[in-house]
Chain A
Amino acid sequence: MGTRFELVLDGQDATRLRAAGEEAIEAIEDAHRRLSRFKRGSIISEINAAAGSDPVYVDDELLDLLGRCERYRVQTGGAFDIVFRAAGGAGEAGSEPICTNRRPILDIDTRRVALPDPCQYIDLGGVAKGFALDLAAESLRETGVERALLHGGTSTIVAIGGPWRIGLPFGDPPGARVTLENLALSVSSQHGDRPGHVLDPRTGKIADGAHAAACLARSAEQTDAWATALVVLGCLPESAPPGLTAVLGSADRGTLPSEQRWTVEGPHAGAVAIGSTHGADR
């Protein structure tokens, strides 16, 4: 997933918290191994390698994830998508829009996935961090962790317990704080390290709906997908599911002031902090 994940776990028993954190990190690493299109041996690279050819058999967890991604695509009117088409031909990542009449095929009954066009590929980059963080948060909750803050690349955050107060580097006024308690938050922006990296999947061009967007919901996977879509759309459409809150930055394409950064205030300083970096495989 090309990013660093960090967990801050609040509690008394450091040994138990570390073990809980390790299991949560393992869930994230497992998601990375399975979902990264850059990782040879991942199920996504297997599907991409078979594009235009045989369907690939997958497990139900992945099938469900791909199904939910299709639901996000429909809800966002195509502003979020996981299927791309290589610009220069099969196996080469690019930015051209996909042929919308050639969708990936999910055969629920036989657990098969196929990409009809050999130039197509799946990239779960817009949703994998959230998916992994949801799994990690579930693991932590089930092992009795009552207060924790998890993030992937600082763009998606999950709060267990709380309240955790997060300062956004944009909004009206900029620097507005949101309070997270058992909620997830994702931000997406055209700025930062890679200006213009958010593309409109429908046109293949740089998205210009909003210069930045934040999204709050129960599921980090959902906020991850919608934050990207909101940068494309510029507003929360009526088709958005209930329980989703959006904070949008203006369409002004100016640079964010460098002094405006995330700020985090929690109930306590974390007892245990643990991290894992993914990115060496790209």
Chain B
Amino acid sequence: MTEIDRREFVVQTAGALAAVALVPKLGLGSFTLAEPMRVGVIGLGRQGRAIIAELSGIEGVTITSICDTDERRLKSGSRRARGAATTADAAAIFDDPSIDAVCIATPTHLHRALVEQALAAGKHVYCEAPIAHTIEDCRAIVRAARDASTVFQPGLFARSDPVYRLARTFYRSDAVRDLVSMSAAHSKKTSWRTPASDPARAAALNWRLDPDVSTGLAGEWGTHQFDVFHWYLDRFPVAVTGRGSIRLHDDGRTIADTIACMIEFEDGAVLDYQATLANSYGGTWELLRGTNAAIRLEWTHGWLFKEADAPTQGWEVYANRQQFHNDEGITLIAGATKLAEQGKLKEGVGLPHSPLRYALADFLKSAAEGSPPPTTAADALRATAVGIIADRAVREQTTIAIEPAMLDA
């Protein structure tokens, strides 16, 4: 918008804004911070730009600086945060004492150095997951977070996601009972290539296809999904078997575009994980089957599928249901009791905000209030390490035993 347009709007709307201030609040207060926060965003690819949009929706947040080494991405980021200073050097953000917090969404292998510098500069840090491309770098991040007086939160959305939190209470109750098996998948038909007009930039932008730094599908997507099972089970895998191949993108890459992993837990429970860049059917989901019910999770939605012989619980009578061919799922709705009282249960299906918004809000609340974040660096180490080990199992088409020490800092 030009300056003239902006002035027109301010004049046009000044009176009406005062009138709206008299209207009672709707209940979006969960996205209001106790203290204003000044935030820098480092890395302006798709995730970095999504972070800018979601931060903009949180009252009390000012995005003061954005950083990327790619001019095109800086320009694109600026469109969403016009007032933010732009820089190609993250040190400019770390050296600015007015900035309280940074969000890091760079390529995975660049996380460690940035996290260490940011924490050393006294910034609160939100870092996308996987937090690093080697277990050693993950451990270094855990140490840096432990030594810091500020908050470190990894970008594992599930632990902030109201649907996942609600589903976890069901999982840990008698509603699901004994665990039978687990499955998860990520499916999206995409080349994983980033175009660049400059061939030199193409190499840097296509880090996910570089076998030296990429963690493959198991690391880049699996890490997020493995954390769900770690969190729900409060246990960690003991072995992973991997298989992978190139089913579609036979363009000279060596990173598999389709993988399957069998992830084993100590008591014999198995997580079947599949991911592909060659087909989009089903998207991204996790499934836990228990002796009384199954829970299916799809980031903004969740369902409970009960067995016929499972004990009846009173609230089910009022539950919202959805048919999936021969199965009927009870929709998991955060705050369902309150919505049911208002006769608005159906309106509560699906999250009203992106899962990223909840994760960022949790991070900034922890930073503003000095409270512990819902997800720790140690959680991220374990999820990322399993992702890295699973990627290695895929590359070597083998089974790798996971010793507990491998997941420790």
**Complex contact A59–B52 (CB within 8 A):** yes
**Complex contact B56–A57 (CB within 8 A):** yes
Among A101-109, A169-177, A184-192, the stretch that binds chain B is A101-109
**Complex contact A57–B6 (CB within 8 A):** no
**Complex contact A109–B10 (CB within 8 A):** yes
With a cutoff of 8 Å between Cβ atoms, the chain B residues found around residue A18 in the complex are: 191, 193
Give the number of residue pairs across the A-B interface with Cβ within 8 Å.
125
Contact of A54 among B5, B13, B28 (CB under 8 A): B28
CB nearest to A63 among chain B residues: B1
Among B18-26, B114-122, B164-172, B216-224, the stretch that binds chain A is B18-26
**Complex contact B350–A106 (CB within 8 A):** no
Q: B178 to chain A: closest CB distance in Å?
A: 34
How many residues of chain A are within 8 Å of chain B by beta carbon?
A: 47
**Complex contact A20–B195 (CB within 8 A):** yes
**Complex contact B57–A61 (CB within 8 A):** no
Q: A15 to chain B: closest CB distance in Å?
A: 5
Among A43-51, A160-168, A214-222, the stretch that binds chain B is A43-51
How distant is the Cα of A55 from the Cα of B23 in the complex, in angstroms?
10
CB nearest to B300 among chain A residues: A41
Among A64-72, A76-84, A224-232, A247-255, the stretch that binds chain B is A64-72
Contact of A41 among B28, B80, B352 (CB under 8 A): B352
Q: A40-B350, A54-B28, A106-B13 are in contact. Are A23 and B194 (CB under 8 A)?
A: yes
How distant is the Cα of A71 from the Cα of B5 in the complex, in angstroms?
8
CB nearest to B299 among chain A residues: A41
Contacting residues of chain B (140-167) with chain A, CB-CB under 8 angstroms: none
With a cutoff of 8 Å between Cβ atoms, the chain A residues found around residue B23 in the complex are: 52-54
How many residues of chain B are within 8 Å of chain A by beta carbon?
A: 47
**Proximity bits, B73-108, A CB within 8 Å = 1, else 0:** 000000111110000000000000000000000000
With a cutoff of 8 Å between Cβ atoms, the chain A residues found around residue B49 in the complex are: 30
**Complex contact A46–B195 (CB within 8 A):** no
Contact of B9 among A30, A53, A70 (CB under 8 A): A70
With a cutoff of 8 Å between Cβ atoms, the chain A residues found around residue B9 in the complex are: 67, 70, 106, 108
Q: A241 to chain B: closest CB distance in Å?
A: 12
**Complex contact B1–A46 (CB within 8 A):** no
With a cutoff of 8 Å between Cβ atoms, the chain A residues found around residue B58 in the complex are: 57
Contacting residues of chain A (119-160) with chain B, CB-CB under 8 angstroms: 142-144
With a cutoff of 8 Å between Cβ atoms, the chain B residues found around residue A16 in the complex are: 193, 195
**Proximity bits, A7-39, B CB within 8 Å = 1, else 0:** 000000001101110110010001000100000
Contact of B300 among A40, A67, A70, A109 (CB under 8 A): A40
**Complex contact A22–B300 (CB within 8 A):** no
Contacting residues of chain B (238-267) with chain A, CB-CB under 8 angstroms: 251
Q: Is B190 in the interface zone, CB < 8 Å from A?
A: yes
Q: B281 to chain A: closest CB distance in Å?
A: 13
Q: B75 to chain A: closest CB distance in Å?
A: 9
Contact of A46 among B12, B80, B193, B353 (CB under 8 A): B353
Contact of A103 among B12, B82, B352 (CB under 8 A): B12
With a cutoff of 8 Å between Cβ atoms, the chain B residues found around residue A19 in the complex are: 191, 193-195
**Complex contact A68–B5 (CB within 8 A):** yes
Q: Is A116 in the interface zone, CB < 8 Å from B?
A: yes
For A49, A62, A111, the residue with the greatest tally of chain B CB atoms inside 10 Å of its CB is A111
How distant is the Cα of A111 from the Cα of B82 in the complex, in angstroms?
11
CB nearest to A64 among chain B residues: B1
**Complex contact A46–B251 (CB within 8 A):** no
**Complex contact B195–A144 (CB within 8 A):** yes
How distant is the Cα of A58 from the Cα of B72 in the complex, in angstroms?
22
Contact of A105 among B5, B17, B353 (CB under 8 A): B17
Give 5 closest A-B pairs by Cβ, nearest first.
A59-B56, A19-B193, A144-B197, A53-B26, A143-B195
27 contacts between A and B (CB under 8 A): A15-B193, A19-B191, A20-B195, A43-B53, A43-B57, A46-B353, A53-B24, A54-B26, A55-B20, A57-B57, A59-B53, A59-B81, A60-B56, A60-B81, A68-B5, A70-B12, A106-B9, A107-B13, A107-B17, A108-B6, A108-B10, A114-B17, A116-B19, A142-B72, A143-B195, A143-B197, A144-B196
